[in-house]
Structure 1
Amino acid sequence: MMTKTLLLSQDDIARIIAAVGRDRLMDLIIARLSEGLSRADDATSETPARSGFVRGEDAAGVLEWMPHHQVGQGITIKTVAYTPSNPSVRGAPTITGVVGRFDVISGRLEALTDGIFLTALRTGAASAVASRLLARPDSRVVGLIGTGAQAVTQLHALTRVFPIERVLVFDICRAHQESFRSRVEFLGLSVEAAALPELERNADIICTATSVGVGEGPVLAGEELQGHAHINAVGSDLPGKTELPREVLMSALVCPDHPEQALREGECQQLDRASLGPDLASLCRRPELGAKSQGRLTVFDSTGFALEDHIALDVLLEIANDLGIGTSIQLEHFPKDPLNPYAPSASAGLSMPTSFDVAMS
């Protein structure tokens, strides 16, 4: 019997955050990402590299689709738009999108929700997972290059797995740099504006999350990095768009999230496949691969891939079900006669969404 589609609106997402709490929610995503990545293999999951096209008046703007198939469990597809002019011109986030969950057998839409919060949450969590595997465990100073929306969850996630004491920030947009303090006030950390050389000299972990244009990078010189520094390179998401100097990559252990995708549009496009270190899933399966490099320069090339979205959506759906949040509607048209599109609706015979269970302990 066909079921309705569960919709999670922006108000529903706000209710989830309020009910669970930012810290607990981030902890859940970090834990589930680490677990899910460690179990990922070609026999049980399929995550093609994303695809899309340039669109709109903004030359840097793209709209992409990101699919993931978990064999026997579900298919997640995220459509995500990257529009650097959104914050200043339209008062909207740089990254917008929606995420859908589809039934493997019938192909019908089971759930649909916002992709803005989900993307920020899982991207921060992915950096925390990678940093825990590659950075020194006693890392206390974080440097943030780019202080937009992604920087908030990058810092939040790192505070959940490291004893962070000091935060250094740099952004070419001084308004964003100044407002960052209030946006992360909930963390109770001192946030200091810093010139790039100072940030490089002092940071144990650096996150680059910028809107640098194609061919306009790098965003740091890399000449004064600490020998043990770890970098989460988050901003590269287009061919020709990079944030780090090639010299830094050549001297570091570079670990991509999705090798095929990273070679096409991440920092790894500056390297060849033979120069890459283990990918994030391999690091999660064999932590010793990263542990032996925690005293040297390391880079996590975070292009973002749909397995992360699939896992994050699982968590949100489970919480929504546990708390009774969301609206079930008949979005797709199911006529009583499936061979006649003009036949009356079969909605009278529809059941409620499949139950999701969540372990909140």
Structure 2
Amino acid sequence: MSEAILHEGEHVETLVLTQQHVAKLVSSGGRDRFMDLMIDRLRKAFVAARESNGTTPPREGFLRCPGETGVIEWMPHHQPGSSMTLKTVAYTPSNPAEFRLPTIIGSLTRYDDVTGRLLAVCDGILPTAIRTGAASAIASSLLALPGGRVLGLIGAGAQAVTQAHALSRVFPLERILVYDIDETHAASYADRVDFLGLEVRIASVAEIEANADIICTVTSVGVGEGPVLTGEHLQSHVHINAIGADLVGKFEVPKALLESAFVAPDHVAQALREGECQQLEPGDLGPDLMALCADPRAAEEFRDRITIFDSTGFALEDHVAFDVLLELAEEAGVGERVRLEHLPEDALNPYSFH
């Protein structure tokens, strides 16, 4: 939904996009259109980021109480004079097995930067999965050799679905090789990506390394339990999207492989703290994804060697994802407006009611 619509004076309600609304937006327009739009808008936002006055600090959060795994975090993006998007997100690896809930649960909120009003609220689970896949598609289109046909997935959870979907929109994929330490996740993966019409085969890590043109590591490996790749059988031109590292001490890629590869982070400060880049020094990093998007030719010289995109996921992506959902909601006339905030008839009297 456009900023003009959200700022109209007669609208004092907050726009709420429920699970049903988001499902309707995706199903009515189609998954491919939704993903294509996300890839396009993210790419444009990354190109414009260098000239923008927007601010995206590294995410912050709380470790869970003793005995629990995962974190609860907040991720803000600020566009001065316009709006601020805030995502709250919880990472709970035990959710699928214990509660039949997604590992990543979150919500998106949009605030008016002039008045501070809450403009819109939306689910953050699907947008997170979609924008993460879209970011990998953008990075891969810059750093991987064109024409890649074999995708390798280390981890077969929810993120693996949108990674494959996004990459299938920018590469002529023919086959997916998938590995997961949970055999049931690997076994069910083909059914979950049946809409892609691609051959899917369960494989070992060694097989994936030896055959994949592009590899995505999308695991919930614990702190100190990585890496999940060996790096011993990789093709000389492979591109790796490293998705899972999001905590200090958690990583999926061996340090030796990182040191020998070209590494592009998404958000430098965040990646150095909790991504794969925490294993490196700042001087070891290549340009970040936004710099590569602004100058795609700078990435071309690295395509014939091993390249790694360190995707920690940052709030500019969530801001853009929310923009996409709001735009689609306006187009389809979807959403519910509620008076969530108490905006009294007399601004100086909190006990006055409309």
**How many pairs were matched up?**
345
> What is the match of residue 155 of structure 1?
164
Runs of 4+ in 1 over 2 A off after TM superposition: 56-60
- Structure 2 match to 1:134: 143
Q: Secondary structure at the match of 1:97?
A: strand
Does the 8 A contact of 1:86 with 1:93 survive in 2?
yes
Give the aligned partner of residue 274 of structure 2: 265
How far the C-alpha of 1:159 sits from its partner, in A, is 0.2
In structure 2, the residue corresponding to 1:214 is in which secondary structure?
coil
* Residues 140-198 of structure 1: CA deviation (Å, up to 9, x unaligned): 10000000000000000000000001110000000100111100000001111111111
2:37 paired residue number: 28
Q: Decide which of 293, 296, 311 is 2:320's aligned counterpart.
A: 311
Q: Percent identity?
A: 58
Deviation at 1:306, TM superposition (A): 0.3
Q: CA deviation at 1:72?
A: 2.9
Residue matched to 1:275? 284
Shift of 1:85: 0.4
Instruction: Tell me whether 1:80 sits opposite 2:89 in the alignment.
Output: yes
Give the counterpart letter for 1:289 in structure 2.
Answer: A
Q: Quick check: 1:221 aligned with 2:230?
A: yes
Partner of 2:18: 9
Residue matched to 1:243? 252
Residues in 2 aligned to 1:46 and 1:79: alpha-carbon distance in whole angstroms: 17
Post-superposition CA distance 1:219-264 (Å, at most 9, x none): 0101110010000000000000000000110010000000000000
Structure 1 pair 112–136 and aligned structure 2 pair: CA distance change class (3 A): same
Q: Return the alpha-carbon distance in structure 1 between the equivalents of residues 352 and 117 of structure 2.
A: 19
Amino acid at match of 1:129: I
Counterpart of 1:9 in structure 2: which amino acid?
T
| CA deviation vs aligned residue, 1:263-310 (integer Å, no higher than 9, x gap) | 000000000100000101001000011111111100000000000000
- Separation in 1, partners of 2:66, 2:164: 32
Instruction: Give SS of 1:211's match.
Output: coil
- Structure 1 residues 69 and 255, CA, compared in 2 at 3 Å: closer, same or farther? same
Q: Which of 121, 128, 135 is matched with 1:119 structurally? A: 128
Instruction: Give yes or no for contact 1:58–1:85 (8 Å, CA) kept in 2.
Output: no
Q: Give per-residue Cα distances to partners, 1:296-327, cap 9 Å, x unaligned.
A: 10000000000000001101001001100010
Q: Is the contact made by 2:263 and 2:285 (CA closer than 8 Å) also made in structure 1?
A: yes
Residue 55 of structure 1, CA deviation = 1.7
Query: What corresponds to 2:350 in structure 1?
Result: 341
Partner of 1:314, secondary structure, is helix
- Cα distance in 2 for partners of 1:132, 1:325 equals 33
2:174 corresponds to: 165
- Give the Cα separation in 2 of the matches to 1:189 and 1:338: 59
SS in 1 for 2:72: strand
Work out whether residues 61 and 81 of structure 1, in 8 Å CA contact, stay in contact via their aligned partners in 2.
Answer: yes
Q: 1:341 and 1:144 mapped to 2: Cα distance?
A: 55
Q: Give the secondary-structure state (helix, strand or coil) at the position aligned to 2:270.
A: helix
Q: Counterpart of 1:191? A: 200
1:18-97 matched pairs, under 5 angstroms: 18-41=27-50, 43-56=52-65, 59-97=68-106
Deviation at 1:344, TM superposition (A): 1.5
**Conserved in 1, the CA contact under 8 Å of 2:16 and 2:120?**
yes
Letter in 2 for 1:24: R
Contact 2:178 2:203 in 1 (8 A): yes
Q: Does 1:286 align with 2:309?
A: no
Matched residue, 2:4: none
Segments of structure 2 that go 5 or more residues without pairing to the other structure are 1-8
CA contact (8 A) 2:82 2:114 kept: no
Q: Report if aligned partners of 1:58, 1:83 keep a CA contact under 8 Å in 2.
A: no
Give 3-state SS (helix, strand or coil) of 2:176's partner.
strand
Q: Output the TM-score relative to the length of structure 2.
A: 0.96
Residue number among 263, 268, 293 corresponding to 1:254 in the alignment: 263
Task: Tell me the alpha carbon deviations over residues 63-106 of structure 1, each in whole angstroms, 9 at most, x when there is no partner.
Answer: 00000012333110000000000000001000000000110100
Q: Alpha carbon RMSD of aligned pairs, Å?
A: 1.0
Alpha-carbon displacement from aligned partner over 1:113-138 (angstroms, at most 9, x marks no partner): 00000000000000000000000011
**CA–CA distance in 2 between the matches of 1:158 and 1:218?**
23
Query: How far did 1:59 drift?
Result: 3.1
Q: Does 1:182 align with 2:191?
A: yes
Q: Aligned-pair distance for 1:24? A: 0.7
**SS of 1:224 mapped into structure 2:** coil
Distance 1:148 1:58 in 2: 23
Matched letter for residue 305 of structure 1? F
Do 2:128 and 2:318's aligned partners in 1 also have CA atoms closer than 8 Å? yes
Quote the Cα distance in structure 1 between the aligned partners of 2:59 and 2:51: 17
